[in-house]
Amino acid sequence: FVTTPALSAVRTQRATALNLIMTEEEISAILSKANGCVESECAVSDVDDLIAELRDQQKVLSARLENIMNAVAHLQAANAAGDKRKTDDVRSIVKDMLRVFTTGLAGRAASRLQGRATSIASRTYSSTRPANDRIVIAVGGNALQRRGERLTIENMLKAAADMAPTIASLAREHELVLTHGNGPQVGELALERSAASFDVLGAESMGQIGYVLAQALSSAGCPTAPVICQVVVDMQHEAFRDPTKFVGPIYGAKEATALSQSFGWIMKPDGEYFRRVVPSPPPVEILQVEAIRTLLEKCPSVLPIACGGGGVPVSRVPSNPRTLVGVEAVIDKDRCGAKLANELDADGLIILTDGGGIWQNYGKPDAREMKLASPEYLLGTKAGKAFPGSMGPKIQAAIDFVQNSTKDDAWAAIGDLRDASKIFGNEEGTLIKKFSHSNGVVWRERKKVATGIGGPKLSSDQHKSG
């Protein structure tokens, strides 16, 4: 922009083009500070004032630029479907983009208030949810590593790049915190360095995954701040006597016995194969929660990535509780995500997997998927207590979040990452919230057998060692 009074005449003639950059109000705020400075002695305080004004404007312009980049990413994604794209959806995105250009310049205060909520939003999926909910989204370690593929950084980057537009699109509409699993990755790191302890390996996996997600999300127009979180656990918890968390690859029976004898690993069956298990105590205290809250409140355009891998497990030394020590464990990221969501007073918790929602009689011919379930219903079925396989901790996390929330309409959802946008309208996945009719459960009509979407997870689909 130009900082001479002559600008206003030019501006009147080319109002539309210039208004896309700065409003009259914003330009005059800068001009008045600059003119005041030039007309006086340019005192230190005057220049400081001008600098502060310019910095403020710089932030506003960066946010606008980001909105435009988001619009481009969103339109590209919508247009990529070619002949199969839904024209109504594309039109709705373009309308939202127009709204950004016409209402997004209503002055600095409005722009700050709008934050991420109205930056650029496709509202195609939010018809049943108010925009700008505060939501914690948990993605599984398996979402970063497609089943059947080797766990390499290259494959992780590819999986993250596939996932990023979905998360970026939700982040434009809602106030998100992203958390992620680390089961496959932390197990792989443990294979490389068997002497390292799981707190350190956990922190390393968080750094690795946080970086990969940050890179992919940034390319999708969504700036992030990965935070390495420490999470206090109770060393007396029974989880230390009965390790349950699967980490790393699968092995055949002979290989598993040999590894157990060589390294003292505890191996448990996972389907027809075996996998290493480590203790997984519940999270008691998330030490960086205030930092995450501050990020949400002060930097609305930045998406915090927090409590990855359930956080680094630490315990307090009983004789000096300020002193922390690392713990040999891997916390479940869904349970930690639920705690994080409660502590941030979130509206929702979404747990994204590479399967569907919650199935009854999972993997059997008479399987059916829950569309809507109340926490009470889930607690009363084996789902809430001893649901087999990996779904148990997810269901428990959803129940914990909804029941511990101070909000009556708090909700949790479990579904496939690829269906993330449809989860909001309850078109896909399972929604968990308080309700009393229909005995606390509504079944999804159309899917009859859980052998396609949400079908049984075969161990042979998982990544193998090496």
Establish if 332 lies at the interface with ligand CP (CB under 6 A).
Answer: yes
- For 217, counting Cβ atoms within 10 Å of its Cβ (0-12 exposed, 13-18 middle, 19+ buried), the class is buried
Partner whose footprint covers residue 182, from ligand ADP, ligand CP, none (CB < 5 to 8 Å by kind): ligand CP
Indicate whether 183 belongs to the interface with ligand CP (CB under 6 A). Answer: yes
Which C-beta is closer to ligand CP: that of 63 or that of 247?
Answer: 247
**Residues 163-182: x where in contact with ligand ADP by CB under 6 A, - otherwise, as a string:** ------------------x-
309 binding ligand CP? (CB under 6 A): yes
Q: Pattern of binders to ligand CP over 109-148, x per CB under 6 A?
A: -------------------------------xx-------
Q: How far is the CB of 440 from ligand ADP (least distance, A)?
A: 17
Distances (CA, A) of 262 to 257, 265, 268, 270: 9, 8, 16, 20
According to CB under 6 A, which residues from 343 to 372 bind ligand ADP? 353-355, 358-359, 362
For residue 309, the minimal CB distance to ligand CP (Å) is 4
Task: Mark the segment that binds ligand ADP (CB under 6 A) among 18-26, 68-76, 135-143, 199-207.
Answer: 135-143
Contact between residue 448 and residue 368 where contact means Cβ atoms under 8 Å apart:
yes
Contacts of 52 (CB under 8 A, 6+ apart): none
CA distances (Å), 408 to each of 236, 267, 394, in order? Answer: 33, 42, 21
Region near ligand CP per CB under 6 A, out of 30-38, 325-333, 359-367, 457-465:
325-333
The CB-of-230 to ligand CP minimum distance in angstroms stands at: 14
5 contact, one of ligand ADP, ligand CP, none, CB 5-8 Å limit per kind: none
Q: Which residues belong to the active site?
A: 141-142, 245, 333, 394
User: Do 330 and 202 touch, CB atoms closer than 8 A?
Assistant: yes
Positions in 194-253 near ligand CP (CB under 6 A):
none
Q: Does 414 bind ligand CP (CB under 6 A)?
A: no
Radius of gyration of the chain from Cα atoms? 25
Interface mask toward ligand ADP for 395-434; x: CB under 6 A: ----------------------------------------
Smallest separation, CB 140 to ligand CP (Å): 4
Q: Which is nearer to ligand CP, 165 or 309 (CB)?
A: 309
If contact means CB under 5 to 8 A according to the sort of partner, which of ligand CP, ligand ADP, none does residue 330 touch? Answer: ligand CP
Question: Which residue has 């992620």 as its token pair?
Answer: 180
308 binds, among ligand ADP, ligand CP, none (CB under 5 to 8 A by kind): none
Distance CA 378, CA 386 (A): 11
145 binds ligand ADP (CB under 6 A): no
How far, in Å, CA of 67 to CA of 56, rounded? 17
The distance of closest approach from Cβ of residue 391 to ligand ADP in the complex, given in angstroms and rounded to an integer, is: 4
Q: Which residue in this structure is represented by tokens 């219903």?
A: 377
Cα separation, 308 vs 141, in Å, equals: 10
Nearer to ligand ADP, 105 or 144 (CB): 144
Residues of this chain that interact with ligand CP (CB under 6 A) are: 140-141, 181-183, 309-310, 330, 332-333
Residues of this chain that interact with ligand ADP (CB under 6 A) are: 140-143, 181, 183, 353-355, 358-359, 362, 387-391, 454, 457
